[in-house]
Amino acid sequence: AQSVSQHNHHVILSEAASLELGCNYSYGGTVNLFWYVQYPGQHLQLLLKYFSGDPLVKGIKGFEAEFIKSKFSFNLRKPSVQWSDTAEYFCAVYPWAGGSQGNLIFGKGTKLSVKP
Partner 1 sequence: DTGVSQNPRHKITKRGQNVTFRCDPISEHNRLYWYRQTLGQGPEFLTYFQNEAQLEKSRLLSDRFSAERPKGSFSTLEIQRTEQGDSAMYLCASSPSLNWENNEQFFGPGTRLTVL
Nearer to partner 1 by Cβ, of 19 and 95: the residue is 95
C-alpha distances (whole Å) from 95 to each of 34, 41, 58, 102 are: 12, 30, 21, 5
Smallest gap from residue 12 Cβ to partner 1 (A): 17
Rounded (10°) CA dihedral 96, 102, 107, 112: 80
* Integer-rounded Cα radius of gyration of the chain: 14
Q: Kindly list the residues in this chain that would bind partner 1 in the complex (CB under 8 A).
A: 4, 32, 34, 36, 42-46, 49, 51-52, 90, 92, 94, 96, 101, 103-109
Smallest distance from partner 1 to CB 30, Å: 9
In whole angstroms, give the CA distance from residue 37 to residue 114: 14
Least Å from the CB of residue 99 to partner 1 = 10
CB of 14 to partner 1, least distance (A): 25
Which of 72, 106 has the CB closer to partner 1? 106
Residue 36 or 67 with smaller CB distance to partner 1: 36
Query: What is the distance between the alpha carbons of residues 75 and 1, in angstroms, rounded to a whole number?
Result: 21
Q: Which is nearer to partner 1, 8 or 17 (CB)?
A: 8
Question: What residue type is 110 in one-letter code?
Answer: T
